């Protein structure tokens, strides 16, 4: 079965997983070093372009046009792919998409497929689906390979193994590879991965990829990468299967040019990505003899119906928002329990899940300080703070009306509506200072306050409130 994009691999709810991450010193050190480095490099790359803001607005406008006319562009894409010898499949959900890929692989007698890094296939749980049915998926992206060999979970959109340092990677490779590396030098680790994958590339009958973009006018599919492994997958196997979210369209090649400037600078801080692979249908004698394009909905149409939430579908998966997010930097991507971590995951995953009554989905929009840094760096100007507050409101509306939290909020509202009740509560609250330690914070409270103090300190209420001070000094 496919998986819900939120309840990924049975992951715990965000607060519990976040507490675990906060207690992992090595994880936090790895994340802080990596995100700080990427942020600085990206800032320098962006500063080189005087028209960066115009590019952002152009990207936003193109994506808005695609979302407003998605039905037209999808039909145009299907016609172009079919005219050039490809086959288009429509998948309403994860189950349909997984079944299509599995049936195509089995029709070719394949018991192994090589994969290009793909968020869409991770979203639908393709690897688990294939493995359960006797087809072995082999990740060929270096970071994805590290995660796969380590029986781990990705924690970043662009760099899935960002939470691992090189000594940890050497240990993983030493356990899993027939020819393990003899040091943790990055070049040695990369060479070990190259030797491990070479045989897979040369023997694979079927490859599976995602897509960064697809050009509706010509039916061309585009994958950008940094390593070249994707190009091996896209040229050597007999059959190529691409799983693509229906929102990944651009109308024309001229529109694609905008995103080929925005994406590399925002993601890898490069002027252009080292490898841009483009294929259009099937070319006899050059590359795979069969091309199948699986167009994936899986909650996207429902997301499109939300006027505020639909802007999440503009995302081009650059991960810039993760690298500036203070919550992500301290908890890592695995704490989100979602294929899509960080700020974009906090607004995209709940909508794709389509169920704000789900505890995990409803928790994600709260995984933010609303500082707005994610909006400032987004290359297609997704107003993530606006979407977060919108989804928080939806989560509140979906909750039962008679929970302990609802009762507490109702009681607080009753107190705040009357100045006398409010001041009486302040005076009562000032007694909390007797529970505070020498630093002025309360470490432990009895239940239900213990649910707060188990993860946070509580500042004691001052003896004198501002109202009392003002009355005494200005009254």
Cis peptide before 247 (omega within 30 of 0): no
Question: Which residues have a Cβ under 8 Å from the Cβ of 70 and sit 6 or more positions away?
Answer: 246, 247, 249, 304
Cα gap 453→441, rounded to integer Å? 10
- Token pair in block for residue 175: 């356990």
The burial class, CB within 10 Å (0-12 / 13-18 / 19+), for 180 is: middle
In CATH, the architecture of 14-301 is 3-Layer(aba) Sandwich (3.40)
Cα gap 369→375, rounded to integer Å? 13
Q: What is the 3-state composition of the chain as percent helix, strand, coil, each rounded to the nearest 5? A: 55, 10, 35
**Which residue in the block uniquely carries the two structure tokens 């009740």?**
421
Cα gap 28→39, rounded to integer Å? 16
Cα gap 176→171, rounded to integer Å? 9
Question: Which residues have a Cβ under 8 Å from the Cβ of 157 and sit 6 or more positions away?
Answer: 119, 317, 318, 319, 322, 333, 340, 341, 342, 344
- Token pair in block for residue 198: 């070479």
Q: Sheet holding 275-280: strands in order across?
A: 249-250, 213-215, 220-225, 275-280
pLDDT value, residue 276: 94
The burial class, CB within 10 Å (0-12 / 13-18 / 19+), for 296 is: buried
Cα gap 324→40, rounded to integer Å? 10
Extract the residue ranges of the chain whose pLDDT is less than 50.
1-14
Cα gap 123→101, rounded to integer Å? 14
pLDDT value, residue 2: 41
Cα gap 205→198, rounded to integer Å? 14
Domains of the chain by residue range: 14-301, 420-474
For 307, list phi and psi in degrees, rounded to 5.
Answer: -65, -35
- Token pair in block for residue 257: 């040019």
Map residue 438 onto helix, strand or coil.
coil
Other beta carbons within 10 Å of 203: 11
Map residue 90 onto helix, strand or coil.
strand
pLDDT value, residue 429: 83
Half-sphere exposure in the Cβ direction for 248 (13 Å, CA): 24
Distances (CA, A) of 186 to 2, 17, 227, 397: 35, 30, 14, 50
pLDDT value, residue 27: 74
Cα gap 4→9, rounded to integer Å? 9
pLDDT tens for 332-354 read 888 888 899 999 999 999 999 98
């Amino acid at each position: 079965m496919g998986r819900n994009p939120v309840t990924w691999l049975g992951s715990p709810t965000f607060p519990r997983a976040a507490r675990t991450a906060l207690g992992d010193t090595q994880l936090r050190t790895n994340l802080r070093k990596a995100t700080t480095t990427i942020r600085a490099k990206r800032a320098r790359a962006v500063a080189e372009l005087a028209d960066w803001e115009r590019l952002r607005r152009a990207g936003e406008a193109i994506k808005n046009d695609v979302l407003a006319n998605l039905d037209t562009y999808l039909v145009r894409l299907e016609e172009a792919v079919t005219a050039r010898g490809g086959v288009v499949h429509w998948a309403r959900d994860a189950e349909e998409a997984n079944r299509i890929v599995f049936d195509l692989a089995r029709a070719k007698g394949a018991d192994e497929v090589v994969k290009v890094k793909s968020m869409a296939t991770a979203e639908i749980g393709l690897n688990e689906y294939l493995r359960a049915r006797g087809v072995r998926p082999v990740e060929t992206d270096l970071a994805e390979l590290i995660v796969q060999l380590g029986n781990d979970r990705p924690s970043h959109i662009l760099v899935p193994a960002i939470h691992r340092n090189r000594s940890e990677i050497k240990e993983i490779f030493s356990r899993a590879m027939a020819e393990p590396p003899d040091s943790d030098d990055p070049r040695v680790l990369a060479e070990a991965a190259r030797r491990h994958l070479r045989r897979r590339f040369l023997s694979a009958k079927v490859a599976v990829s995602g897509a960064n973009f697809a050009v509706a006018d010509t039916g061309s599919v585009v994958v950008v990468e940094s390593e070249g492994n994707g190009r091996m997958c896209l040229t050597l196997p007999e059959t190529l299967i691409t799983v693509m979210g229906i929102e990944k369209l651009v109308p024309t090649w001229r529109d694609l040019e905008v995103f080929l400037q925005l994406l590399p600078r925002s993601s890898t801080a490069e002027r252009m990505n080292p490898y841009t692979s483009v294929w259009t249908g099937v070319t006899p004698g050059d590359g795979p003899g069969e091309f199948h394009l699986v167009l994936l909905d899986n909650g996207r149409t429902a997301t499109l119906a939300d006027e505020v939430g639909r802007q999440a579908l503009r995302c081009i998966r650059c991960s810039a928002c993760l690298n500036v997010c203070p919550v992500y930097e301290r908890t890592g991507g695995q704490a989100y329990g979602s294929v899509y971590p960080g700020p974009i995951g906090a607004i995209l995953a709940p909508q794709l899940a389509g169920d704000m009554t789900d505890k995990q989905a409803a928790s994600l929009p709260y995984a933010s300080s609303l500082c707005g840094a994610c909006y400032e760096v987004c290359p297609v100007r997704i107003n993530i703070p606006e979407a977060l507050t919108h989804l928080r409101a939806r989560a509140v509306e979906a909750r039962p009306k008679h929970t302990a939290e609802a009762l507490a909020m109702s009681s607080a509202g009753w107190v705040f509506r009357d100045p006398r009740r409010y001041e009486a509560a302040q005076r009562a609250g000032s007694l909390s200072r007797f529970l505070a330690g020498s630093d002025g914070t309360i470490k432990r409270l009895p239940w239900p306050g213990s649910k707060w103090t188990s993860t946070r300190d509580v500042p004691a209420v001052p003896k004198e409130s501002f109202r009392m001070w003002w009355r005494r000094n200005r009254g």
